[in-house]
Structure 1
Amino acid sequence: WYISTWNVRSLYRAGASRKLEEELKKYKADITALQEIRWRKSEITQLRDHIVFNSGSTANIRGTGFAVSNQKKHLVIKFQPINERICSLRLKGKFANLTLISVHAPTEESETEMKEDFYAELERVYNNIPGHDIKIVLGDFNAKIGKEDVYKPVIGQHSKHVVTNDNGARVIDFASDKNLRVASTFFPHKKIHLETWVSPDGSTRNQIDHVLIDSRHATNIQDVRSFRGADVDSDHFLVRARVAQKMASKAHSKSERRRLFATDKLRVQTVKAAFENEVNIRLQKDHSERETVDVIETKWNKIKDVLQGAATEIMGERRKPARNDWYDDEVAEALKQRNEARQRMLVKKTRASGQEYRKMRAKVKLICRKKKRFLERERVKQLQNDFEQKRGRKFYKEVKNIKNGFQPRLGCVESKDGELIGGKEEILNRWREHFEEVLNRGEMQTDLSQEEIPLEEDVEPPTREEFNDVLAAMKENKAPGEDNIAVEMLKNGGERVQEELYDLILSVWLREKMPQEWDSALIYPIFKKGNRLSCGNYRGISLLSTVYKILASLIAEKLHVFAERVLGDYQCGFRKGRSTTDHIFTMRAVLEKFYENDLDLHQLYIDFEMAYDTVSRIGLLKCLENLGIPFKIIRLLRMTLSHTHAKVAVQGKVTKGFSISQGLRQGDPVSPILFNLILEAAIRNIEVNAGGSIYNRTIQYLAYADDVAIIARSAADLKKACTQLEYGAATYGLKVNEGKTKYMVTTRRARRFGSLQVAQHAFNGVNSFKYLGATLTSKNEVKEDIASRIAAANRCLWSLGPILRKRDVSRNAKLTIYKTLIKPVLLYGSETWTLTSADERMLNCWERKVLRRIYGPVVENGVYRCRKNDELRELFKEPNIVKSIKLGRLRWLGHLHRMDQGRAPRIAYEGHPGGRRPRGRPRLRWLNKVEEDLSKLNMGGWRRKASDRTAWSELLKEAKALQGL
């Protein structure tokens, strides 16, 4: 097999990586050290036939790395990016592992200090290589190595040069110190096969790219030579070494492939009719047998087979969308002609051959740029066409694709020990191992089916109308579970199949036994942030059977009625008529009043470690029983949780299954309600009254699902409340995450508050905390939250820049993108803001920046200039950003006024914590700003009007058109 080195002089050019792959395949270069990749960042990118490991900088300069063929990537153990000049790759060998170091040394003319720094870093990297590894250092050393006898046996007799230059002496010095051999000087070849670099004018040819290997394994390299025919438009030649070392063999096993049906075709009326007809025909064939069969598993299998068979017959398999690849036959032909011109120039260097080659290089660059720009323009035109034709889903899908930009495919993952895994089966096994550990933390729990629950039929089974309502409410265009049955197939399969499904679900409800396939979940890893190779930086999205989700939704509907009776007002997560704004407003209102009245408020923002995945299922059943949930529902929930298992889907392949014995099912409609009930039970266990307010008590709980905040008048009260909550939560398998739980004190005093010591925990003290997406500070200022929202909106704006800059996209389309994708990012939580004049100026300035980008400059006397503020106001007929915030505050005020008196936001808004205001002018309150807006709009008697939701909405519509705000 072969290892190579090649200074490619940029893969940042259009078509460069595609051409590199073609050349590496042609010359059988299995593993190639690359220099001057010129890609930003240090990352791993999966190409078609190779995986590229890049060690780059923040700019598109230099950069080293490796290109490993798909046939050899399973050998990769670890990639270590050092800087833009050095990186290393460790490979799995049969008898000994190999470590390769790719280098790009400074040029001969570089400063001495730069050269010394480079070799000092190279020495550090080399010294960290495991002792028993075969060590190979290769790359562009920018070094001429001569034939001086004094340097033997480090060098051989077959170098192109006679005299060693300064860089060459440094290479030899490094090799001598590390007992290496310069293998590229040991093999006799023609001069043209020793040369690795040619000057732009073709007059100078040097051997400056080298391969070094430790002397103990020097005989493993059997040949080193350059190949002039390999062409990536670089002035360096490919240098290839033949290696005799045997590598580890690849394990082969067959994995399951994920197939999906083309449900998009059901939007066509004729296809929909044909699908319904095919389903009915298949059901009719099995009708006589079905009437006599009363086994749930058999019923399900027959319904599944009918739907899958009809889908295969009518819709077929969903095909991957064709890659919009601009690299076509014309580009390939131009590259071929350039390569031929280069070969002629290398064989016989004349003015004419050099001119022909330069002409072909320019032609290839022009063709590649034109093709790429044409493809981008076509994508933008299609996006505009979708907007004009009101194809909203396709429009936003394409916007999202452009916004996300290039996302490198995952070609490797890290093992638990940090080593790289490249083989397909090994990658699948690693993902399976990761999620099996994550979803089965702690002790294995006993079989839930052994738990005794009274056999009382205290809940009526779902009616056909309830079944129809749940099916109609299910969202389309969602990925199906492992059975591949999408909701579109159920909705468009006709009345008859729906009747069969209802009959099946009714049987499951009555017998409390469901098909085994419904126990299975398909987990897709979704990247969060950090190192893409670490499985821990991904969260799993579980896909459950669509038919099971209908059953779970019916159970959730029944459970919801009882849950609302027992849940306290502190919980706003997944409850009708409540949102994150409730708690954000409550926190801001309480902080505002405590700060104004010179009272300290201690806050603890609790994070539970893997909250949903660590719930004790046995504890859950006991909790439901204690809360008075009907036994029938508890038995049905026991059925859904008794034998759960999962598989992991990665890049179209599916792992083997594994059992899950704890936690709630992710993606299950009933899981959010169950977690709320568990938290309710945990708080009840510690005999703490979670009702009331901090205004009349020493502590108060606020929760949005698993995001729990405790506020208290003193640190002692906070410690006590935290200890009790942790004790109560532990009963149900919940564990406080010390690292992510934060402590903050809102106070006027200048003294510092450090960490909070609670039992064995030390919770870090902070001056600001992002609570439910809104930034709260110890001084209760919204300035930091506004800055955070502007920064988030700017990131969104930057990612959408490729669309907003295009002339082919209409202004209306750009304004729609602004109003639906960018502006909501900024306005999140703005209903709770108390804005100063400076804040309003900053927000208006930001919006004008966006509008100038959308509307573009104007030409005046042949010169472009930015649009003035009054010109923007004339063009943009919508309320400006500040007016939108004020209208949002008024909308929230009406909602607040219509709330029950006992709701936390209403109490926080109307109540008073006691204490006394200190001397000096107080800060503006939220209510002051809202009343100021009301007075500008002449809204007298607003409380009476706010009580009527419809009348209040009409008032806000009128206010939107008024110029007062």
Structure 2
Amino acid sequence: KFNTDLQDPSIWERYAVEVKNHFEALDLETQHVESGKKMKICLVESAEKTIERVKRCKRKPWISDEVLLLAEKKAKLRKKRHVSEELYEEYKRLKREVQRKCRRDKEEWIAEQCKELEEAHQKGNTWKLFQKLRSLSKKPRMNQSSIKDANGLVLTETQDTKEYLINLFKKLVGKQVTEALTLDKEELEPEPIIREVQNVIVQLKCRKAPGVDEIPAELLKASGEFGVSMFHQLCCRIWKSVQWPEEWFLKGGDSTDCNNYRTISLISHASKVLLTIIVNCLKNKIVWELPESQAGSQAGRGTRDMLVNLQLLIEKILDVNSEGIVIFIDYTKAFDSASHPQLFSVLITMGFPKHLVALLQSMYSKQQACVCWNNERSDWFPIEKRVRQGCIASPGPFNIYSEQIVREAEVEQTGVVIFATQMDSDVAETQQKLDRVADASARRCIQINAKNPKDMLIAKAQREIVIRARQEWIEQVESFRYPSSQKTNNGDCTKEINSRIAMAKAKTQELDPIWKDFHISKRTKIYLLKSTVWSVLLYGVESWILKVVHERRIRSTEMSWLRGILRVSRLQKIKNEVIRKQLGQEITLLQKIQERRLQRFGHISRMDPERIPHMAIHTKVQGMKNRGRPRIHWIDTVKNDIQQKGLKMNKAVKLVQDRKFGRILLTSGLASIQETTYRL
């Protein structure tokens, strides 16, 4: 690949001049297929003349040439080591010397990497900083050497393995006949303007793997106004003809169980320009069609909302001594099973512009894939089923596809429906709804995975419930990780908190060379601690209900990390306040959790009353409360946080309607709000 991580602007200027020269001699008045090839040749040849390609480095970057020469001598002597005692002693000496110098080279390499990491942080180069961080903490990756076939037999020969994988994936993306859409003049959408193409090229993410055309996003951005003009002409030709260049077609490549494999897509960056324009045209219609309960790939809705919603629902059900049944549904290779004819039929039925659907259909109709095994590629074969994984145009249409399944299942809104999760209180009614969802999914060529679905009974008095999916009994669980957060049937957050602390500690151990190195400043270590370790622990904290024992453990864990940065033992009996002062740490981890919780409260308070998070807080569940002290609820922890800021609940709700005052409330409290109001 090309070395696009260049700091010399003169190289990019020479590249832009080469693109201009090629563009002036380019004839784009040919067919769109030839235009795509000419555009690729223009960019690649311009890059070949001005930009070097990246040279592959050694497997172990710290091994010096001196060590390699010694290793060769040791390897030659190894065959003769039993000839005489002198040769055996010489072999052992060389072996010790190779090991010693390898350790020395590795220590020097780590020190050099840490210095570069520190320099990157001082210059604000976050990409290089985390790249060095990954190189220092990367786990060894084991290459898969064998797999099992359908009968459980291990395949060791490369050719047998490739043939089996080809047959497997051909079956997965089985051939289906898709009729091309015919367009009338009245159904044509307006062509994209040059400003749209320019904005999309500017927004392309850098340092991403290129597709089979080997054109990275950096080359597109550096092509200048002539490159933008070339892309605009090509996009307009594709828009009119509804035919994509072959260079832009999807090329998908793929433990021993093949069912655990997933197809991945290396998509051409050039095709992302037109795909982004198509997605922007479809966006408003997709948002209109999707319900409030669909949070996947939707702006303003996310997993944190779903976690808070589920926590609030569990609390309300238990508070009135009621019952609720939660079904966690999992589809078998949902993206790979989506039927192309049915997908495009659903889009047309829901009223999406026929021209845009025809563009997507044309792109999918000629896509191909191959199997990559031990750096060897198989022959290319066509794909007539599946939604492209990794494509920016996939989430929206697939959400529409899944929404059509829910509509056909006719799941009434008697309970609370969340995507991939259904809550109800009656076993028979829940079974009927699940059967309707399974039947509707099967009609759309998607099957429910009978092994992965779980059901969870939310009730104080637990009992066994029997629910089946595809005639298979669904396992009843007390807790479930949804999504990436442990939720229990009693609303307790202890399991999730312990799990998050353990995951954060594991991340800390991965970065042990960083904490021990004296070439990295304390300031950089604190930055890495917050960006890599704290981020793991803080996922989903908005829905936590912290007890005193939880706060103690979180505080203890945080201090152990800070002491590790200073290389200070607890036996030295240095106070926590002194440790924080030395590191300049004023905000604690518990204060950060409180800030995240109040942010979520302010976000929910500003929502429309018809939004699910807002309804989950204010909706009451029918039933009688138990005698005795009530449980601590999520809203109780929020009230406690607000009281610590010197406010009452009704006053805080009014203040957070303004984002500015809400932000001040989170950081400083009532005194700062009054001071800001006085200044205004």
- Report if TM-score (shorter chain) is over 0.5: yes
The answer to whether 1:280 aligns with 2:4 is no
Q: 2:359 aligns with which of 624, 627, 636?
A: 636
CA distance in 1, matches of 2:190, 2:378: 40
The answer to whether 1:601 aligns with 2:334 is no
1:338, 1:361 within 8 Å by CA — same for their partners in 2? no
**1:870 maps to amino acid:** E
Shift of 1:879: 1.6
Q: Tell me, what secondary structure is at the counterpart of 1:905?
A: helix
Correspondence 1:477-492 to 2 at 5 A: 477-492=207-222
CA distance in 1, matches of 2:401, 2:155: 39
Q: Structure 1 462/360 Cα, relative in aligned 2: closer, same or farther at 3 Å?
A: closer
Tell me which residue corresponds to 2:558: 847
CA distance in 2, matches of 1:356, 1:754: 72
What percentage of aligned pairs have identical amino acids? 25
Q: Structure 1 883/843 Cα, relative in aligned 2: closer, same or farther at 3 Å?
A: same
Q: Tell me, what secondary structure is at the counterpart of 2:262?
A: strand
Tell me which residue corresponds to 2:507: 796
CA distance in 1, matches of 2:315, 2:499: 20
The answer to whether 1:309 aligns with 2:309 is no
Q: 1:734 aligns with which of 436, 446, 450?
A: 446
Q: Structure 1 356/271 Cα, relative in aligned 2: closer, same or farther at 3 Å?
A: closer
Structure with greater helix share of residues: 2
Tell me which residue corresponds to 1:476: 206
The answer to whether 1:561 aligns with 2:302 is no
- 1:346-374 CA-to-partner distances (Å, cap 9, x unmatched) read 6368xxx9988876665555444333333
Q: Structure 1 327/277 Cα, relative in aligned 2: closer, same or farther at 3 Å?
A: closer
Q: Structure 1 939/337 Cα, relative in aligned 2: closer, same or farther at 3 Å?
A: same
What are the ranges of 5 or more consecutive residues in structure 2 without an aligned counterpart? 673-680
Tell me which residue corresponds to 1:111: none
Q: Structure 1 922/261 Cα, relative in aligned 2: closer, same or farther at 3 Å?
A: same
**1:317 maps to amino acid:** R
Shift of 1:461: 2.7
- 1:49-93 CA-to-partner distances (Å, cap 9, x unmatched) read xxxxxxxxxxxxxxxxxxxxxxxxxxxxxxxxxxxxxxxxxxxxx
Correspondence 1:690-709 to 2 at 5 A: 690=413, 697=414, 699-703=415-419, 708-709=420-421
Correspondence 1:757-776 to 2 at 5 A: 757-758=468-469, 760-776=471-487
Tell me which residue corresponds to 1:161: none
CA distance in 2, matches of 1:500, 1:855: 56
- 1:533-575 CA-to-partner distances (Å, cap 9, x unmatched) read 4444333321112122221111111111111111110101111
**1:657 maps to amino acid:** W
CA distance in 2, matches of 1:360, 1:470: 58
Tell me which residue corresponds to 1:785: 496
1:303, 1:500 within 8 Å by CA — same for their partners in 2? yes
Q: Tell me, what secondary structure is at the counterpart of 1:711?
A: strand
CA distance in 1, matches of 2:663, 2:289: 32
CA distance in 2, matches of 1:631, 1:467: 22
Q: Structure 1 342/866 Cα, relative in aligned 2: closer, same or farther at 3 Å?
A: farther
Structure with greater strand share of residues: 1
2:330, 2:452 within 8 Å by CA — same for their partners in 1? yes
**1:272 maps to amino acid:** W
**1:388 maps to amino acid:** Q
Tell me which residue corresponds to 1:868: 575
Shift of 1:892: 0.5
- 1:177-220 CA-to-partner distances (Å, cap 9, x unmatched) read xxxxxxxxxxxxxxxxxxxxxxxxxxxxxxxxxxxxxxxxxxxx
Shift of 1:447: 2.6
1:856, 1:866 within 8 Å by CA — same for their partners in 2? no
Mean Cα deviation higher: 902-911 or 416-425 = 416-425
Shift of 1:949: 1.5
Mean Cα deviation higher: 353-362 or 710-719 = 353-362
**2:486 maps to amino acid:** T
Tell me which residue corresponds to 1:262: 3
CA distance in 2, matches of 1:650, 1:428: 7
2:36, 2:246 within 8 Å by CA — same for their partners in 1? no
CA RMSD of aligned residues (A): 2.8
Tell me which residue corresponds to 2:302: 579
**1:405 maps to amino acid:** K
Q: Tell me, what secondary structure is at the counterpart of 1:624?
A: helix
CA distance in 1, matches of 2:76, 2:340: 66
The answer to whether 1:326 aligns with 2:72 is no
- 1:326-355 CA-to-partner distances (Å, cap 9, x unmatched) read 253356448848987997996368xxx998
Mean Cα deviation higher: 925-934 or 634-643 = 634-643
CA distance in 1, matches of 2:204, 2:81: 66
Q: 1:923 aligns with which of 631, 634, 646?
A: 631
Shift of 1:761: 3.3
**2:559 maps to amino acid:** R
2:332, 2:449 within 8 Å by CA — same for their partners in 1? yes
CA distance in 2, matches of 1:662, 1:553: 22
Q: Structure 1 535/321 Cα, relative in aligned 2: closer, same or farther at 3 Å?
A: farther
Q: Tell me, what secondary structure is at the counterpart of 1:918?
A: coil
The answer to whether 1:552 aligns with 2:275 is yes
CA distance in 2, matches of 1:365, 1:688: 66
CA distance in 2, matches of 1:946, 1:472: 35
**1:865 maps to amino acid:** Q
CA distance in 1, matches of 2:347, 2:95: 73
Tell me which residue corresponds to 2:678: none
Shift of 1:433: 4.2
Q: Structure 1 277/453 Cα, relative in aligned 2: closer, same or farther at 3 Å?
A: closer
2:563, 2:569 within 8 Å by CA — same for their partners in 1? no
CA distance in 1, matches of 2:97, 2:286: 71
Q: Structure 1 275/650 Cα, relative in aligned 2: closer, same or farther at 3 Å?
A: farther
Q: 1:514 aligns with which of 244, 249, 269?
A: 244
- 1:295-329 CA-to-partner distances (Å, cap 9, x unmatched) read 11111111111011111221133322344142533
Shift of 1:873: 3.1
Shift of 1:412: 4.5
**2:5 maps to amino acid:** D
Shift of 1:818: 0.9
Tell me which residue corresponds to 1:495: 225
CA distance in 1, matches of 2:84, 2:31: 79
**1:612 maps to amino acid:** F
The answer to whether 1:382 aligns with 2:116 is yes
Q: Structure 1 573/597 Cα, relative in aligned 2: closer, same or farther at 3 Å?
A: same
Shift of 1:788: 1.4
1:832, 1:926 within 8 Å by CA — same for their partners in 2? yes
Q: Tell me, what secondary structure is at the counterpart of 2:334?
A: coil
2:313, 2:616 within 8 Å by CA — same for their partners in 1? yes
Q: 1:373 aligns with which of 96, 104, 107?
A: 107
Tell me which residue corresponds to 1:812: 523
